[in-house]
Amino acid sequence: MSDAFTTRILRLVTGSAETVTDLTHECEQFLAETASGRDGLLNVFVPHATAGIAVIETGAGSDSDLLAALHTLLPADDRWQHRHGSPGHGRDHVLPAFVPPHATLPVLGGRLELGTWQSVCLVDTNKDNPERQVRLSFLG
């Protein structure tokens, strides 16, 4: 594989509750090991039909606010046609339309170029599948 493109898979266990998991440190560590001071792009991708990637502030309540907003937009009730799994699981399959399964972020001088309060997060509302993968890919 070319030095211009490097990829790694993170394996995470999100548990049995809806979660917003901050991946910023893992992204920064990956870039420290692979970007070698170069400019480029970091792509973060979750290959699951019931999870997404968000760039948001964490730690000040925004992660909880995001989950609350998703509950308002996508209630976990019996309205969904997709009905396997726990009650309301069909809404988990609609989540990626609101929180996409990917984000592409600028890398300058080998460092992730985020705003002051921005974090890269995995958003997982699927309580039935606690094991997740996230692919980090650097192109530079």
- Residue spans of the domains in the chain: they are 5-139
- Residue 15 pLDDT grade (very low, low, confident, very high; cuts 50, 70, 90): confident
C-alpha atoms less than 13 angstroms from C-alpha of 76 in its C-beta half-sphere:
17
**pTM of the full structure:** 0.94
5-139 CATH, one of 2.40.50.140, 1.10.540.10, 3.20.20.70, 2.60.120.460: 2.60.120.460
Inform me whether the pLDDT recorded for 138 exceeds 90: yes
Half-sphere exposure of 86 (CA within 13 A, CB side): 13
Mean pLDDT of 8-14: 96
Comparing 85 with 66, which gets the higher pLDDT?
A: 66
CB 20 within 8 A of CB 54: yes
**pLDDT of the residue at 120:** 98
**What span, in angstroms and rounded, lies between the C-alpha atoms of 111 and 99?**
24
Burial level of 87, CB count in 10 A (0-12/13-18/19+)?
Answer: exposed
Q: pLDDT-based confidence at 2, cuts 50/70/90?
A: low
* Tokens coding 78: 């019996």
26-59, pLDDT tens digit by residue?
A: 999 999 999 999 999 999 999 999 999 999 999 8
